[in-house]
Amino acid sequence: MVYELTPHHVVDKMQVAFVSTNQPKMGRKNMKVTKESPTGRNLEFQKKGGGKKITRAQFVKDIKAGKHPEYYSRKINGLETPVSMPDESEGNNLG
């Protein structure tokens, strides 16, 4: 069984493989994950260096409003989810 974790990584059991995307590459990510569900879904976010914590739904809304150009949202398991734009680091994503 294959699970898609990010726009550029696919996990098959214990093996991780890099998969390219057509998403534009962007600069530094300015958000970090502050709360995860037991299954690993990112639930809460905060601007690096401090600031107000926001929910996944609010972050998606802000992304769609153009407030975070280094992120986009996509449906993962039927739920709109914030995803960082690919950069030079293959293992980099929200976290």
Q: How confident is the model at residue 94 (pLDDT cuts 50, 70, 90)?
A: low
Average pLDDT, the chain: 76
The pLDDT of 26-39, averaged and rounded, is: 84
**CA atoms of 21 and 57, how far apart (whole Å):** 24
Q: Helix H segments across the chain?
A: 56-64
**CA atoms of 84 and 9, how far apart (whole Å):** 12
Q: How confident is the model at residue 68 (pLDDT cuts 50, 70, 90)?
A: very high
- Is the pLDDT at 85 greater than 70? The verdict is yes
pLDDT of residue 38: 95
